[in-house]
């Protein structure tokens, strides 16, 4: 059971690494901003930020300086990833909105500010989740994911109507839903983990129910993000067949 708990974390780590790298390679070829933002967002919040945090724990006793360095890089990666997600939400869903732009820029300033604050306050050593800078950073990280999930879900509701009229590709429509589920699971899982840490006063790894919750949210996020960005052939066939059947039913 102990090892099984880590399945969600491992799945999320692998899927986010594969998707993040693929999307960044795509960005290098296409020279388009959304791909770059999505790649930095997924890699920064997932494998780089989360991964380095886990690696840093291994050096906590043996090499405190290296431990602190890794935690600092990890926090920086999470900040960059969250900021990229904020800018993605603004540029992709509301490019003409002053409010969305202000939100994204304000969040960027907040993330940078909390990074500097954490460095000045205690040099990035393992921090109290209720410390103001830690709390603000966590809330911003949760916000970028839940905002993205909400936007993607709202767009999916439009896309499914377009699919019925033959105006949109069912696979692209499903990608909005899967990203909405993946981003929501990641954001909500982080929120539950944060709440658990605050309630129990213990790190995620030391409170069993928080660990299981975070891992299960990670598993859901991993499956949804994989189906969104690296869907297997059978899943694509299933989505297309279901859409054709649904359109046929609507016309008869």
Binding site for other proteins (CB under 8 A): 22-23, 25-26, 28-30, 32, 34-35, 38, 92-93, 95-96, 155, 157-162, 165-169, 172-173, 175-176, 179, 228-231
- Of 28 and 242, which CB lies nearer to other proteins in the complex structure? 28
- Of 185 and 226, which CB lies nearer to other proteins in the complex structure? 226
Q: Which of 102, 195, 87, 197 is nearest to 147 (CA)?
A: 87
Closest separation in Å from C-beta 47 to other proteins? 17
Closest separation in Å from C-beta 170 to other proteins? 12
Closest separation in Å from C-beta 181 to other proteins? 14
Closest separation in Å from C-beta 172 to other proteins? 5
Backbone angles phi, psi at 2, to 5 degrees: -55, -45
- Of 147 and 179, which CB lies nearer to other proteins in the complex structure? 179
DSSP character string of 12-77: HHHHHHHHHHHHHHHHHHH--HHHHHHHHHHHIIIIIIIHHHHHHHHTTTT-HHHHHHHHHHHHHH
- Of 92 and 126, which CB lies nearer to other proteins in the complex structure? 92
Cα 235-189-81 angle, rounded to 5 deg: 80
For 26, 55, 89, 108, the CA distances from 148, given in Å and listed in that order, are: 21, 28, 6, 15
- Of 179 and 188, which CB lies nearer to other proteins in the complex structure? 179
């Amino acid at each position: 059971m102990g090892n099984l708990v880590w399945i969600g974390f491992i799945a999320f780590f692998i899927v986010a690494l594969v998707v993040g790298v693929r999307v960044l390679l795509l960005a290098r070829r296409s020279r388009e901003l959304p791909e770059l933002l999505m790649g930095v967002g997924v890699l920064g919040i997932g494998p780089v930020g989360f991964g380095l945090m886990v690696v840093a724990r291994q050096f906590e006793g043996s090499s405190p300086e290296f431990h602190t360095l890794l935690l600092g890089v990890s926090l920086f990666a999470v900040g960059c990833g969250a900021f990229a997600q904020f800018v993605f939400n603004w540029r992709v869903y509301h490019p003409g909105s002053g409010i969305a732009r202000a939100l994204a820029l304000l969040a960027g300033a907040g993330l940078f500010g909390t990074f500097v604050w954490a460095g000045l306050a205690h040099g990035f050593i393992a921090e109290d989740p209720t410390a103001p800078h830690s709390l603000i950073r966590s809330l911003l990280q949760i916000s970028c994911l839940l905002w993205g999930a909400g936007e993607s879900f709202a767009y999916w509701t439009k896309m499914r109507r377009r699919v019925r009229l033959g105006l949109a590709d069912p696979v692209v429509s499903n990608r909005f839903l899967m990203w909405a589920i993946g981003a929501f699971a990641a954001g909500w899982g982080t929120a539950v983990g944060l709440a658990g840490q605050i309630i129990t006063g213990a790190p995620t790894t030391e409170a069993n129910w928080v660990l299981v919750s975070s891992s299960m949210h990670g598993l859901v996020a991993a499956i949804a993000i994989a189906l969104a960005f690296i869907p297997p052939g059978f899943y694509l066939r299933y989505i297309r067949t279901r859409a054709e059947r649904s359109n046929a039913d609507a016309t008869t």
